[in-house]
Structure 1
């Protein structure tokens, strides 16, 4: 068997595997959307849950999911990208760097239920905050920080190879090079890490069960406060996200049409993740083109 024939065979096998992965994803999404039915009904998306009655909505849970996403990214992105910059540009090979990498790899392998129990002991118990949105966001940060750090580090190292020496040779300082040259070039890869982190925020349930709680009170939106528990914008109130609500519906069956609501909620969750990925990709491309001078 000659080299060209071997290449064609293995290329065909890779195409088959890739096609199978795509079909599997399409089948999964299609099945969820089919079972979800009319999940984009406004009365369902923005309605209130009805305890013991059929026909409830997911308005509070949907708001809590997006609010959890925002708060968690506000905490995760600066620390994750900052740690990536340090590891890629400032850290020197040695014992300290080996310890940091070991800690990152260990944190990345932690099961979400273990992080949830840690959050219950620390963010809920030791701080006396109770079940709050902030406790949930911090638990999610513990889960997402290692992966975002590694993605940011790899992106910065890859982007810096071709442009770093040129920038320094033109007289720019190291920080100017990182801020104005390397980071813009690494934005697409870093954005990929942020998208992965966001997807985990949308889909995570185990860690949030023990930290953010399982109650979604209907709160007035005309009351703005970051700490008052009667405000929907408060980070110090319980916040039941959509993924936790789906778990609760399937485990407790507290309404007659629990299965139907769980299916429709799952469809909404899938649609939100797909839309977020699409918008983030387009936004990242536009940002990269603006820095690169492309139109």
Structure 2
């Protein structure tokens, strides 16, 4: 039995198919445009019937222009992006060395400025400390002067008080044993003949009855003035000192005799 015969159709290239499709599309567009023109053509109203001669004229349209089939677009390959590798700029070694030197100088200037500011700060601090110490020394000196002045004033006040007390005591003592009778000594003839002058101090004790006891010469005294001075002191009479209503003796009472030739 014979096998059925297969019919082999010739293969139509894709380019011809694309051209046929483009031609059909062009004809369809032209027909659409013509239909639109006919649809929009103005229609006049029919005139009144009249007897006229109908003339017909055959219009012949020009043959359609040949359809130019555009060639199929040639596929354009997408451009491959160019990868640019960054190229490091070449630096001149001298410029780099100069920049390094400038940076080192700038850093050195900054360090020097910091050191100068620190030095000025320390100097101001030392000056303030010195002024504070000077003020403290001056204040201490003023306090010391004030203390010395106060001490002197206290000493003067104490001395004045002591002098007043001594004067008061002396006055009180003198009032209590004031001499009742005091006779001047006789000037020795031999001292007059020789023109001798001088002083003689006699110390003695005034007893409770106001009489002089134990007279003796103290200090420098010319021998010619000793006997008359002791005799004169022995003749003195005093008002006795009274304490708590009782008369008491007073020791170490002194009297100075002066011998002058007039």
Instruction: State if a TM-score over 0.5 links the two structures.
Output: no
User: 1 or 2 for the larger relative contact order (CA 8 Å, sep ≥6)?
Assistant: 1
Greater helix share, 1 or 2?
1
Identify, as 1 or 2, the structure richer in strand: 2
User: Whose radius of gyration is greater, 1 or 2?
Assistant: 2
**Normalised-by-shorter TM-score class:** under 0.3
Output the TM-score relative to the length of structure 2. 0.18
